[in-house]
Amino acid sequence: MIKPNLRVVVLISGSGSNLQALIDAQIPNLDLAAVISNEPHAFGLERAQRAGIATAVLSHRNYSDRASYDADLQRLIDQYAPNLVVLAGFMRILTATLVEHYRGRMLNIHPSLLPKFQGLHTHERALAAREQEHGASVHFVTAELDGGPVIAQVRVPVLPNDDADILAARVLAREHQLYPTVVQWFTEQRLALGADGRAWLDGAPLLHPQILM
Ligand code: GAR
């Protein structure tokens, strides 16, 4: 029996290098249905167009409140009938209504070893805290900002002469391995958000994030 493709919508705000990693990974049975950006000049839109993926822009600047933006965003996403929504550098806080609508089918990548350093400026904060290790996490999105159950992480060392840019680049290179791996688990139906609020992999709840080597 031929398996139907899993339809994925990717949300971006900027460079889209994680989007590029998903394109390059050529994950079997995965259909990148659309890329949506809140920023009209996001370079990731060009990456999508080059790969022949549909693109759409919904600028938050035309909205006075978050609820009406997110209502339109949800309508736009749903036009592509996704099985999975992938936040890849989408730099907006989402309303609980939108997040609930995509419960169990929305992933985010965050540049820290969650639960450490939720929010912005994670690399600067890791340096200021004199962390010896830093990294990135992929998690299911829940209403709590950067607080949903973590599925998998990559770790990198913090080196003596690092500044935030050097550290960010080291983390980003590993993000490009992390996100396609987790998205592939989802397409293979190995991954789900359980009713217990935990991430489940291969039929068992994850008590700790998977660490990718
Ligand atoms: C990535 O480092 C991602 O983890 C981060 O934005 C960058 C996007 O890069 N996301 C967040 O900070 C979300 N809170 P990209 O556009 O090149 O994929």
Q: Residue 90: which CATH number?
A: 3.40.50.170
What average pLDDT does the structure give for the chain? Answer: 97
Determine the distance separating the centroid of ligand 1 and the alpha carbon of 86, expressed in angstroms: 12
Range of the domain at 184: 6-212
In a domain, 206, yes or no: yes
Percentage of the chain lying above the pLDDT 70 cut: 99
Q: How far apart are CA 89 and CA 21, in angstroms?
A: 13
Copy the structure tokens of residue 60: 């938050």
Amino acid 135: pLDDT: 98
Structural domain tally of the chain? 1
pLDDT over threshold 90, residue 41: yes
The pLDDT > 90 percentage for the chain reads 97
Q: Is 79 contained in some domain?
A: yes
pLDDT at residue 56 is higher than 80: yes
Residue 94 lies in a domain: yes
What residue's CA is closest to ligand 1, atom 5? 89
Structural contact between residues 210 and 151, judged by C-beta atoms closer than 8 angstroms:
yes
Atom of ligand 1 nearest to the CA of 108: 13
pLDDT at 2: 65
Does residue 88 lie in a domain region? yes
- Tell me how far the alpha carbon of residue 198 lies from the centroid of ligand 1, in angstroms: 23
- Specify if 23 maps to a domain: yes
pTM over 0.85: yes
Catalytic residue set: 110
In a domain, 126, yes or no: yes
pLDDT class of 4 with cuts at 50, 70, 90: confident
What is the pLDDT at residue 203?
97
Cβ 13 vs Cβ 90: under 8 Å: yes
In the predicted model, is pLDDT for residue 204 greater than 70?
yes
Query: With 70 as the cut, is the pLDDT of residue 195 above it?
Result: yes
Nearest CA to ligand 1 atom 3: 89
Average pLDDT estimate for 17-25: 98
Task: Specify if 114 maps to a domain.
Answer: yes
Report yes or no on 1 lying in a domain: no
Atom of ligand 1 at shortest distance to CA of 88?
Answer: 18
